[in-house]
Structure 1
Amino acid sequence: MKENYVAKGFDSFWADETEPDLPPNGSYWNIGPGTQYFNVFPLFHTAAFYDGFRRDLKTRALILARDSYLGAQHNGAIFWSSDINANWDTLKRQVPTGINFVASGMPYWSTDIGGWQYLPAVHKPERTPLIAPSDARANVGGYDDYPELYVRWFEYGAFQPNFRSHGSRPQNEVWSYGKQAEPILEKYLKLRYELMPYIYSLAHGTHENGAPFMRGLFMDFGGDPKVVDVGDEYMFGPSLLVAPVVEQGVTSREVYLPAGTDWYNFWTNVRMHGGQTVTVAAPIDVIPLFVKAGSILPLGEAVESTNERQRVAKVKVYPGTDGDFELYRDDGTTYEYEKGKSELTQFHWSDGAKKLTRSGAKAEVVSEDGLVEVVGVGH
C-alpha cells in the first residue's frame, strides 16, 4: 500500500471488502482456524491501514470499509451497508439498520444513496411519481419512480454520519436525475454544509465519549416507553429528530415526538408538545425534521467543500428550556488535536433570561450583527 498508493499521493482508502472471500471452513490463518477467527478479519485488516497511517502519513486515517468487528471504530474506519438494492423496500430497511449498527459501538455509518445494484430495465410504480423521469431517461432508463426514490434517499443521507452517494447509474451527480430533482438535491447538499459546525462538534463528542451521534430514540428518551420499538425515526445529535420518508408517492407521514420536551418543526418553526404522534406534511422536497426545545444550532456559511475554512454564520436557539452546546474546531486533517491544538466554545441558553452567552475560545463568525436568532422571538 505504501509503495503503490501512499507514495503516489493517496491519503485515504476505500478498503471495500474488509472480509475474507473464503468461507471459514478449511481456512487457517496465522492466529488460528477460520472457523474460530473468521469474524475478526475486519478488525486486523483496518488496523493494518491505520497503523500505516500513523507511521507514514501526517493526515488522519480515513478508511471506508464494508465489514466491521468490535474495536474497528478505533482504526479510523467508516462503514456502509454494502451493495444494496435500489428499491423502496431497501430504503425502508436502511433506517433501522443504521440505528442498530451505530448502537453496536461503531458511530460512522452510511448507505449507498440510491442503492448500489443496477436498476431494472422497467419499473412502473403504484402511484404517480412525484418527480417526472422524462428528462433523466439516459440515467434511470425505464425505472419511472427512480428519481423520486433517489431524492428521498438523498434527503435521508444528509442526516447520516457519512454522507455519500454511490451506485451503478451511468451518472451520479445532483444534476443527473432531472430538472425537478436537481434543486431539491442542491437544497440538501447545501443544508449538509450549513450544518457542518454542528456535525463536526457531534463527532468530537463521539470521540470523547464513544456514543454515536446518530441514535435510536431509546438512547435519549429512555423514560418514554413509547419509543422502545420506534425504528423509522432517530436523533441526529441531541437536537435533531429525523423521520425519513420511505414510501413511494406519499406526501405526509406520521412522526412520534418523544415525551418530556417540546419540539419545533425545522421547516415551519411551529412548536409542538412531546408525547404525541403527529401527521406531518412531507412534499417531495421536505424530510420531516424536528428540533428539540432548548437546542442551540450553530450554522455555517456557504462553502464549496470542507477544504475551506468555514465560519459560523448564525446561531439558532430553540427556546423552551435551558440549553448548552459545545462548538468544536481543529485543523480538520491532522492529529495535532491530540497535542491540544483545538478550540472549544461553550454556548449556554438561559430560558428564563432569554439570553445566549458564550465562553471559552472565541468562535470564528461571519458577523456579530444578527448572529443569534431565537426561534419565535427574533434576533
Structure 2
Amino acid sequence: DGFRRDVKNRALILSRDAYLGSQRNGTMVWSSDIYPTWDAFKRQVPTGLDFTASGMAYWTNDVGGWQYLPAEHHPAHPPLLDPSDARENVGGYDDYPELYTRWFEYGTFLPIMRTHGSRKYNEVWSYGKQAEPILEKYLKLRYQLMPYLYSLGYKTYQTGAPFMRALFMDFPNDPNIADIRDEYMFGPAFLVAPVTEQGATSREVYLPAGTDWYNYWTNERVRGGQAIKVDAPIEVLPLFVRAGAIVPLGSAIENTGQEQKIEKVRVYPGADSEFTLYNDDGKTYAYEMGEFKTTHLRWDDAAQKLTRQGTPAWTEPDERILEIVKR
C-alpha cells in the first residue's frame, strides 16, 4: 500500500524468502546467495519447479552463482570454452566460462533473468572470446521473446498460474513425466532441458506424449512420448516447441524501456491453438483501469490459417509477420 501511495510506477520486491500470498504484492523470489558450482547450478532446476508449483510464479536465481569464485578449479573433463583470455575475471577456475554460459542459457528461460555475483566483471564480454558470442545470442533471444514473456505475465495476472511449470502440470496423463525434474515448460510453447553436467555435449530429453515437438534450432519435428538423445554443443540449449504453438517475436532492442514492435508471429503446425498477445505502458498501474491492449490469435491447423481479433498488434500485412515453420 505504501508503494502504491508514494510511487507512481509498479512495485517490485526482490526477496530471498516469502510466504504463500506474497505474489499479490509484486514479489519475486530468488534462491539466495548460492555457490558458483555445477552442483549448485544443477539444483536450481528442480528447486525452481518446486517453488513455482506452490503458485508463486516469479522465481529466479543468480546466473553464475553469487559467492566468490575459488582460487583454482580443475574440472574432470576438458573445458568446452577456453578460459585463458578471461583470467582477470575467472582466475584459476578453468571451467567457469563453461559453467557461466550453460547457466546463462538456462537463465534465458526463467521468469526473471538475472546475472549477479561477486565476480570482478559481469558483462557478456567478460568471460572470454569464445563465450561472448554465445552469451550475446541468448541475451538477444531473451529480448526477442519479450512479447511472448509479457503476455505470459498477463495470463498469470489473470489466473495465478505460473508459466514456468514442471511437466506434470501440462501433461497429467503421461505417466512417464512424474519423476522428471530437469526439464520444464516455459509457457505453452517451450520445453526447456538445461545441460547441467560439465563437459557434456549431449543429453537425453523426454518429449511428453500427446503432441509432436519441434527442435527449436533445427525445426526438426519429433513425435512425443519418447526419450531422445539431443546434441548439445556448448552453444546449444536443448529447446523444443510444442506443435501448434504460436510464438510472437519482437524487434531487436537493448532494454525494455525501448519501444518494441512485433517482428514475427511464428507458428509451429500440428494442432489448433490460441494465444493472447498483451501490451500496456509497462510502468504504471493504468492497466488496472483498462488501459491495455490485447490481440487474440487463433491458429486453424486444418486450414493452415492464423486469424486475429482485438487491438491490431502490428501494421504490416499479415504475410510479412506470419512465419509458419516447415520441416
In structure 1, C-alpha distance between the alignment counterparts of 2:203 and 2:316, rounded to whole Å: 37
**Displacement of 1:105 after TM fit?**
1.4
What residue identity is the alignment partner of 1:107? Answer: A
Between the two proteins, the alignment pairs up a number of residues equal to: 327
Give the 5 Å matches for 1:157-168.
Answer: 157-168=107-118
- State how 1:258-269 maps to structure 2 within 5 Å: 258-269=208-219
Residues in 1 aligned to 2:262 and 2:180: alpha-carbon distance in whole angstroms: 34
Per-residue deviation at 1:364?
3.0
What secondary structure is seen at the aligned counterpart in 1 of 2:125? coil
Q: Which residue is equivalent to 2:77?
A: 127
What is the aligned partner in structure 1 of residue 231 from structure 2?
A: 281
State the partner residue of 1:110: 60
Task: Name the SS of the counterpart of 2:127 in structure 1.
Answer: coil
184 and 338 in structure 1: CA distance in 2 versus 1, 3 angstrom threshold? same
Which residue is equivalent to 2:289? Answer: 339
Asked if 1:213 corresponds to 2:163, the answer is yes
What letter matches 1:69 in structure 2?
Y
- State the shift of 1:57 in Å: 1.1
Contact residue 213 and residue 235 of structure 1 kept, 8 A = yes
State the partner residue of 1:72.
22
What is the CA deviation profile of residues 232-257 of structure 1, one whole-angstrom value per residue up to 9, with x for unaligned ones? 00000011000000000111000000
Q: Deviations over 1:183-215 (max 9, x none)?
A: 100000000000000000000000000000000
Instruction: Provide closer, same or farther for how the CA distance between residues 365 and 138 of structure 1 changes in structure 2, counting only shifts above 3 A.
Output: farther
- Which residue in the other structure is 2:133 paired with? 183
Q: Which runs of 5+ in 1 are unaligned?
A: 1-50
Give the one of 130, 134, 153 matched to 2:103. 153
Q: State how 1:130-145 maps to structure 2 within 5 Å.
A: 130-145=80-95
1:92 alignment partner AA: K
* 1:60 and 2:10 aligned: yes
Aligned partner of 2:245 among 266, 272, 295: 295
**TM-aligned CA deviation for residue 370 of structure 1:** 2.1
Percent same amino acid at aligned positions?
Answer: 65
2:153 maps to 1:195: no
Find the structure with the greater CA-based Rg.
1
**Quick one: distance in 2 between partners of 1:227 and 1:96?**
13
Q: Which residue in the other structure is 1:359 paired with?
A: 309
1:83 to 33, 40, 52: 33
TM-score by length of 2: 0.99
Counterpart in 2 of 1:314?
264
Tell me the CA shift for residue 304 of structure 1. 1.1
Q: CA deviation at 1:367?
A: 6.0
Deviation per residue, 1:108-163 (Å, 9 max, x gap) = 01110000111111100011100010000000000000000000000000000000
- Structure scoring higher RCO (CA < 8 A, sep ≥ 6) equals 2
User: Which ranges of 4 or more aligned residues in structure 1 deviate by more than 6 Å?
Assistant: none
Instruction: Quote the Cα distance in structure 1 between the aligned partners of 2:175 and 2:292.
Output: 39
The aligned runs of 1:362-373 (5 Å cut-off) are 362-364=312-314, 368-373=318-323
Unaligned runs of 5+ in 2: none
Deviations 1:62-103 (A, max 9, x none): 111111111111111111000001010111110000000111
1:351 Cα deviation after fit: 0.6
How big is each residue's C-alpha offset from its partner over 1:257-285, in whole Å with a ceiling of 9 and x where there is no partner? 00000000000000000000000010101
1:309 is displaced (CA, Å) by 1.4
Deviations 1:327-353 (A, max 9, x none): 001100000000001111011110110
SS at structure 1 position matched to 2:42: helix
Q: 1:210 to 1:262 in 2, by over 3 A?
A: same
How many Å apart are 1:52 and its aligned residue? 1.4
Displacement, 1:365? Answer: 5.2
CA distance in 1, matches of 2:207, 2:165: 15
**Residue number in structure 2 paired with 1:243:** 193
Which residue is equivalent to 1:96? 46
Give the distance between the partners of 1:298 and 1:250, measured in 2 at CA: 31
Question: Does the CA contact (< 8 Å) of 1:311 and 1:365 recur in 2?
Answer: no
2 CA distance for matches of 1:172 and 1:369? 41
Contact 1:311 1:366 in 2 (8 A): no
* Counterpart position of 1:224: 174
